[in-house]
Amino acid sequence: MSTPNGAPVSITPVGYTAFVELHHLYYELYAFARLGDVGLAEQVVELVLRQTEADWAWALRDDPAAFTWQALCEAVTVARKNAPTSPPDGLHRSMPERAADAALLHESLGLELAAAAALMGLEEPAVHAQLKAAHRWRFGNHPTGGS
């Protein structure tokens, strides 16, 4: 398909569009909570969503939510390292990443377990287990040398 002048038309898959509508706000809230900068959070999310769109067929082979969540977490981590004004991130500094993410989404952003699980591309029991792990880490009951 092309435009009248012969340029190719990019057609965004309907599934991708629905996926973005469902998750975009919470991706930005998560990125903002970790980065402390609205503009930077928006840039990171936009970059990740463009990457997901470009790799949509690949993402569909497994789980688009898990695929995008991993890309978002990696992009936020890189942005934090490159943004000297990012606020302290006590959760992610003091416990494993997945447990910290679950705690941030559920406790700080107020997502129900099912919504947090859908955003992270995990099953609800896995998020529940991560929340329990976060609780143990916060209250000093984590395994020695745990990750």
**φ, ψ for residue 8 (rounded to 5)?**
-65, 145
Q: Which amino acid is it at 61? A: R
**Does 145 score more than 90 pLDDT?**
no
Q: Residue 120 carries which DSSP code? A: H
pLDDT of residue 93: 83
Q: Give the pTM.
A: 0.83
The upper half-sphere exposure of residue 128, i.e. CA atoms within 13 Å in the direction of its Cβ, equals 4
Could you tell me which residue, 84 or 67, shows the higher pLDDT?
A: 67
Averaged pLDDT, 64-78: 96
Task: Please write the tens of the pLDDT for every residue from 85-96.
Answer: 777 777 888 889
Element containing residue 119 per DSSP (H, E): helix 113-120
Which residues, in sequence order, are bridge partners of residue 2? 8
